[in-house]
Structure 1
Amino acid sequence: MSLLQRVESEFENHIKIASASTSLSGDILQAARLCSQALKNNNKVIFCGNGGSASDSQHLCAELIGRLKKNRVPLAAVSLTADTAALTCIGNDFGYEQVFSRQLEGIGKEGDILISISTSGQSANIINALETAEKLKIKSIAFLGKGGGSALKICTQSILVPSNNTGNIQEMHILIGHIVCGLIENLLDLE
């Protein structure tokens, strides 16, 4: 396969995954409704993820605090991946598997929403965050791939990308995240 064919193949594969992901439309709308209801009730949306998913967490948090499409009031959102002092303190003193759950215990409250982003659904810190959310009566949304892993069984609402390819899953997660943020703006009818 030539390099040009490889590039074309990557686009074709992306289009296939995106087309298959339209089956997630109901799950995506439900996730947006959960977030909108929480925000209407003066609660917040809390994001977490590892690696590229950590970047997606910060990116989507910024879409809510800033804006996606409309000039509007800022929405209450926080990314548990953004505070390096908290991450390194908790990782060092309690273990990396607690970096999200410990923060969630400190700032989360019933009525908030946790959005965890994980290509595999297997990371211990994601599982612990979802279990902590359940304990605190915080509804959770999991953006997943690769069959969903253990996270699939714990979250309130899953959005499971039908792929085993990490890059394609990440591409769909950011697209889905943008759709969710846009729907939140529409559902809240913000100006």
Structure 2
Amino acid sequence: MDYNIFFENALEGATTAYRESLESCGRKLIELSQWVCRAFENNGKLILFGNGGSAADAQHIAAEFVNRFRLDRKPLPAIALTTDTSILTAISNDYHFDQVFSKQVQALAGPMDVVLGISTSGNSPNVLKALSVAREIGARTVGITGGSGGKMDRCSDLVICVASSDTPRIQEVHIFFGHLLCDLVEQQVFSPV
């Protein structure tokens, strides 16, 4: 194996995914950042969830909002529904894994909130169900996905779809988009021009 070619191909694939996704989703990221700013201004919050790597992304993004991203500033209200093992296992055991996020959304979300589900395929039943419940509550719903977008458009007010069908590239762009969202919100809330 020629490792230089391997690394070069990986870098080229990632660069292409980033560039094409930003070109196709940049305006949607700006719109999402405006929704999140409006939520924060109106005592709302950002609620995030996903499975596996997407769960880690949800936690990572929530941490950036609650703690800090680039600026030393006051904490911003963001919650990842993927962190409480007692809640996750109770719902999964007593009901079904498909309800693991939707029951939390019922308990925690309100009409001033932005509810963001992350799914690489766009077809995760528990993510789709939670977005549907959030929409019924009146929250703004956002699906971040990849490939064809799956079924996200059925339950999301805004779908941000990575321009790739390669799972690792999709996941890499998801956290890139999460960082861009944090940066955009910080600039709008704390450094308005």
Q: TM tier, shorter chain?
A: over 0.9
Unaligned runs of 5+ in 1: none
Alpha-carbon distance in 1 for matches of 2:72, 2:45: 19
Structure 1 residue 154, shift from structure 2 partner: 1.6
Q: Which residue of 1 aligns with 2:90?
A: 89
Letter in 2 for 1:10: A
Alpha-carbon distance in 2 for matches of 1:139, 1:130: 9
Letter in 2 for 1:145: G
Q: Which residue of 2 aligns with 1:15?
A: 15
Letter in 2 for 1:70: L
Count of aligned pairs: 191
Alpha-carbon distance in 1 for matches of 2:96, 2:22: 38
1:52-110 superposed Cα distances (whole Å, 9 cap, x missing partner):
00000000000000000000000011100010110000011110000000001011111
Alpha-carbon distance in 1 for matches of 2:136, 2:191: 32
Identity within the alignment, %: 35
Unaligned runs of 5+ in 2: none
Is structure 2 residue 169 aligned with structure 1 residue 168? yes
Q: Which residue of 1 aligns with 2:55?
A: 54
Q: Which residue of 2 aligns with 1:27?
A: 28
CA contact (8 A) 2:134 2:141 kept: yes
CA contact (8 A) 1:73 1:190 kept: no
Q: Which residue of 1 aligns with 2:71?
A: 70
**How big is the alpha-carbon RMSD for the aligned residues of Structure 1 and Structure 2?**
1.2
SS of match in other structure, 1:14: helix
1:1-53 superposed Cα distances (whole Å, 9 cap, x missing partner):
62331121011100111111122110000010011100010111000000000
Letter in 2 for 1:20: E
1:92-148 superposed Cα distances (whole Å, 9 cap, x missing partner):
111000000000101111111111111111010011011001110011111110111
Letter in 1 for 2:35: L
Alpha-carbon distance in 2 for matches of 1:149, 1:119: 9
Q: Which residue of 1 aligns with 2:121?
A: 120
TM-score (norm 2): 0.96
Alpha-carbon distance in 2 for matches of 1:141, 1:163: 19
SS of match in other structure, 2:160: strand
Alpha-carbon distance in 2 for matches of 1:60, 1:70: 15
Alpha-carbon distance in 2 for matches of 1:153, 1:110: 19
4+ residue segments displaced more than 3 Å: none
Alpha-carbon distance in 1 for matches of 2:37, 2:163: 26
CA contact (8 A) 2:116 2:131 kept: no
